[in-house]
Structures are given as structure tokens and as C-alpha cells.
Amino acid sequence: MKKQIFAGAMAAVMALSMAACGGSGAAATTAAASKAEETTAAAESQSGEEKKAEVSFETIKPGKLVIGTSPDFAPYEFYHIEKDGEPKLAGFDIAFAQKMADDFGLEVEFATMDFDGILMELQNGSIDLGISGFSPDPERQKVFDFSDIYYKGGQSFCVSKKNLDKYKGFEDFKGLAVGAQTGSIQYGLAEKNTPDANIIGLPKVTDIVSELTTGKLEGAFMETAVAEQYAKNYPDLAIAWEVPYDTEGSAVAVKKGNQALLDAVNAEIKALQADGSLDKFVTEAQELASDDANVYQGQLDENGKVKAESEGETTEAAAETTKAQ
């Protein structure tokens, strides 16, 4: 009987001892895991702080990246009419800007305006960046900083398809109406290549295409990707030839002296080029812009709706405006 009691007592002691050992091991494991979690959390926090420091810059609105763009420049930027009938900003500039803001941990805000107003708003401090197919030409670089090239394009001269065989060179346009977007590189190319033409500056590329296809303009200067897109959607439009230009490509415009933001933009461009994102944005935008029936290029009305079709600025009025500038 005593043996049984002793044996039972010993068994109980051994059980308690084993339980104690097990409890001690679990406690040690829990403590180690807790310590590891703390170390990991600290490392992640430090990594997050370092990442945040890499894109540490001021924006005009806390938590937002305000970007100026002119949505009349498909496939760069335009409105696509969604299935519910609502216009949505689209284009590879828009996709690029959205991705950049996301990676910066900021909310993107697009400020849409006519092209020739973007750089003025940037200089005034109303927007953080100008993203609208800007070419970083030497004159602009005197006033603004520009990122690395994120899209390499070219410049083209367009005519009505029926006149493709009629014109052989720029010298044929002496005294004739030639169009280009006001405030653009293309306007400067018009002055350089067709100095004897009647150069008409219009605020939107859509106006230029309309005037060209209706015979009010004999020729027009356009960015190549834009010209190719319009040629797909307007059978009467054709690219006559490429226009020589030293700075072939688009860059992001940044206010002069904002080096931190410029560095962050350049780092983002490098990353998106490396992983193929920018090429993907271009392909998707070109496909979407080909859906001409659901593409709108221009400004929306005060209610955020597509403006009713109305007769745009006439060539005669534009000519008077150009003379006054």
C-alpha cells in the first residue's frame, strides 16, 4: 500500500516537474517570440522611416500631390466616357501620376486646365507638378526644373490626307494657314520651320484637328504619339513627315529649386521604367484612346460633365489673338 502511495506521489512529483519544465520552456519560447516580434517591428518601423525619408518633400496641400494637366492630348491625357456615362481622366500621364502618388503615400489631385496655363500655375505655386507631355527645351529649363525623360516621342507635321501628294516640304506653306497649340513646343517649331506661313495658335489640339480636317488649316504641328492617335480616329488626317527636334521626349515639370521633389520623381521614373510599368501605361492608354466614340478631349463644365458641342474658336479669331501676343 505504501509502495502504491509512494509510487503515486512520485508520479505526481514527476508530472509536476515535467509540467514545470514544459511551462518554463513555453514561457521562454513566448518571451523569445515576443522579443523577435519587437525586433522585427522596430526594423520595419526603421525601414518605413528610411523609406519615408527618401521621399521627404513638401507639397502645397498636406497629404496630396496636386498635378496640373491638359486633358486634350490623347493618349497622354484625355477623358474616357465610362459605362455609366461619366467622364474619367485617362491616359498614360494620368496612370503614371496616379502610380507615383500611390508610391509616395499621397492622394493625387488633378488640376485640369488649358496647356498654356500649367507652367504659370506651377510657377505661382498652385500645383506641385506639371505632367502633360512637356518637352524640357532650353527656354523652359531657365524657369523650371524638369525630371528625366519618362517617354521618348517625336514631332510630326500633319495635313489632310487628300493633300499628302500636294505638299513636299515646309516651303510649300508660304502664306498658308498652319496650326499649333498655343504655348507648346509645336508652336515654336511652327515659327522655326514655317516662318512665312500664317501661323495660327489654338488652345486645344482638338481645335487644331477640327480646323485641319475642315480645310481651315493646311497643315499643323503635333507631337507624334498624339498625331498617330488622331490619325487612327480621323481617317481624313495624315502625318506628312517627321519634324527634326533636338529634345525628343516628355518630362515632368517641377518648380525651380524643389530638389527633394525632383529627386523623388526621378527615382520613381527609374523604378517604373525598370519594371516595365511605363510601357504598360502607354499601351493601355493607346488602346483606350482608340475607342473614339467614348473619348472626350477638353475641359468639363462646372458640374464635371462633358460640355455640349459648340463651335470652337474660329481661325480668324485665333489669328487676331496670335497677333496680339
Tell me the mean pLDDT in the region 196-202.
96
- The whole-chain average pLDDT of the chain stands at 82
C-alpha cell at 34: 515576443
Tell me the mean pLDDT in the region 23-34.
40
Confidence grade of residue 309 (pLDDT, cut at 50, 70, 90): low
CA dihedral 235, 204, 241, 211 (to 10 degrees): 60
- The pLDDT tens digits for 122-134 are 999 999 999 999 9
User: Do the domains spanning 64-152+249-296 and 155-247 agree at the CATH topology level?
Assistant: yes
pLDDT of res. 291 = 84
Q: Is the pLDDT of residue 196 over 80?
A: yes
pLDDT of res. 55 = 59
Task: Specify the fold of 155-247.
Answer: D-Maltodextrin-Binding Protein; domain 2 (3.40.190)
Pick the CATH number of 64-152+249-296 from 3.30.70.2520, 3.40.50.360, 3.50.50.60, 3.40.190.10: 3.40.190.10
**Domain boundaries in the chain?**
64-152+249-296, 155-247
177 and 218 Cβ atoms separated by less than 8 Å:
yes
Tell me the mean pLDDT in the region 89-96.
97
pLDDT of res. 26 = 38
pLDDT of res. 23 = 38
Strand partners, 87: 81
Q: What are phi and psi of 91, to 5 degrees?
A: 120, 160
What is the number of helices (H) and of strands (E) in the chain? 10, 13
Helices in 55-132 by DSSP H: which ranges? 92-104, 115-124
- The pLDDT tens digits for 277-299 are 999 999 999 889 888 889 998 89
Residue 169, classed as helix, strand or coil, is coil
> Of 113-122, 141-150, 174-183, 308-317, which gets the smallest average pLDDT?
308-317
